[in-house]
Amino acid sequence: MAIRGLNHITLATVDLPRALAFYTGALGLTLEYRWENGAYLSAGDLWLCLSVDGHVDRVTDYTHIAFDVSADEFTSICARLAAHGATQWKENRSEGDSFYFSDPDGHRLELHVGDLASRLAHISEQTAKGEKLCGV
Segment (H or E) for 120: helix 116-128
Other Cβ atoms less than 10 A from the Cβ of 53: the count is 15
CB neighbours of residue 125 within 10 Å: 11
| 125/6 Cα distance (integer angstroms) | 28
User: Catalytic: 91?
Assistant: no
| Catalytic one of 73, 91, 95, 110 | 110
Catalytically annotated residues: 110
